[in-house]
């Protein structure tokens, strides 16, 4: 099983072989110093995992994470050490659910969103979904909803609004589609 180390608030897989294996198994993480991976077999540097990826891999038994002293960490302790907020925990529930449905989930920052999701993976297709996570108790401006919808439509992605609060069994998803009169 791949091992990662918590280093300065980041989860790093130092072994190149284990980094390559994790990336190839589900497009997890980002190799250090590499902007875009064209071929998973070409991963040749340590992998840096997003906090949500690290939590998911640890929770599903696909990764071991150690602190700076080499002590193994559990999911809750890792979440605390990564300063995962209540809002980020809600986003994690969405991330975990999408991954459990077989989707490859990556950052959606490029589109002003929480996530993008692929059926096959980056480099194999364009992400068909852009997902915005909103905490269930936080109101949002309808203008933001229209902006997000317009961006997703302009890049030919399905716009999905997702929410999940503490104690939620499953996230709630709302899919938006532009209608032409």
The catalytic site residues sit at: 118, 126, 157
Sheet with 47-49, side-by-side order of all strands: 30-31, 47-49, 10-13, 3-7, 64-66
Phi, psi (degrees; rounded to nearest 5) at 133: -95, 130
CB atoms within 10 A of CB 18: 18
């Amino acid at each position: 099983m791949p091992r990662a180390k918590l280093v300065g608030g980041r989860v790093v897989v130092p072994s190149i072989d284990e980094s390559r294996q994790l990336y190839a198994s589900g497009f997890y993480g980002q190799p250090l110093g590499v902007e875009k991976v064209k071929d998973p077999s070409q991963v040749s540097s340590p992998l840096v995992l997003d906090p949500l990826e690290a939590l998911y891999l640890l929770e599903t038994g696909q990764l071991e994470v150690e602190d700076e002293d080499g002590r193994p960490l559990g999911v809750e302790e890792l979440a605390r050490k990564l300063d995962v907020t209540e809002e980020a925990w809600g986003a994690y529930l969405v991330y975990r659910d999408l991954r459990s449905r077989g989707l490859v989930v990556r950052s959606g920052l490029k589109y002003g969103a929480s996530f993008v999701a692929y059926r096959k993976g980056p480099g194999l297709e364009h992400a068909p979904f852009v997902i915005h996570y909103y905490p269930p108790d936080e109101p949002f401006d309808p203008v933001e909803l229209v902006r997000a919808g317009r961006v997703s439509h302009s890049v030919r992605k399905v716009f999905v609004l997702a929410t999940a609060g503490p104690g939620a069994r499953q996230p709630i998803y709302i899919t938006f589609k532009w209608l032409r009169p």
